[in-house]
């Protein structure tokens, strides 16, 4: 009986850890970049949208800026920035 409880507790702890790791990027801190009023997640850089079509699709707020983050594989992932009001 004790062994079953310990296995159940271990499985529950793993599930809690997996859920916490999957939602943690949503709570990343945002900081103001060199461009006034443009916020990116901590450690990421800003990029001007220009006329580059993939960036135009990402720029949902229409301010002409997107943020980029470098993945562990060396790729760049882009996302729309937040604006401070």
Q: Three-state DSSP class for 48?
A: strand
Asked whether 66 and 55 are in contact (CB, 8 A), the reply is yes
Other CB atoms closer than 10 Å to residue 44's CB: what's the count? Answer: 21
CA distance 55 to 46: 12
Q: pTM of this prediction?
A: 0.58
Total domains, the chain: 1
CA distance 21 to 33: 26
Phi first, then psi: give them for residue 39, nearest 5 degrees. -110, 135
What is the pLDDT at residue 9? 95
Q: Is the pLDDT of residue 36 over 70?
A: yes
User: What tens digit of pLDDT does each residue of 51-85 get?
Assistant: 778 788 888 888 888 888 888 888 888 888 888 76
Q: Is the pLDDT of residue 11 over 90?
A: yes
Query: Which range of residues forms the domain containing residue 39?
Result: 2-83
Mean pLDDT of the chain: 84
């Amino acid at each position: 009986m004790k062994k079953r409880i310990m296995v159940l507790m271990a499985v529950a702890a793993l599930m809690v850890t997996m859920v916490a790791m999957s939602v943690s990027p949503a709570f990343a801190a945002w900081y103001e970049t060199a461009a006034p009023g443009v916020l990116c997640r901590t450690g990421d850089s800003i990029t001007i949208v220009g006329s580059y079509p993939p960036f135009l699709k990402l720029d949902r707020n229409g301010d002409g800026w997107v943020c980029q983050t470098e993945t562990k594989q060396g790729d760049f992932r882009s996302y729309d920035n937040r604006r401070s009001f």
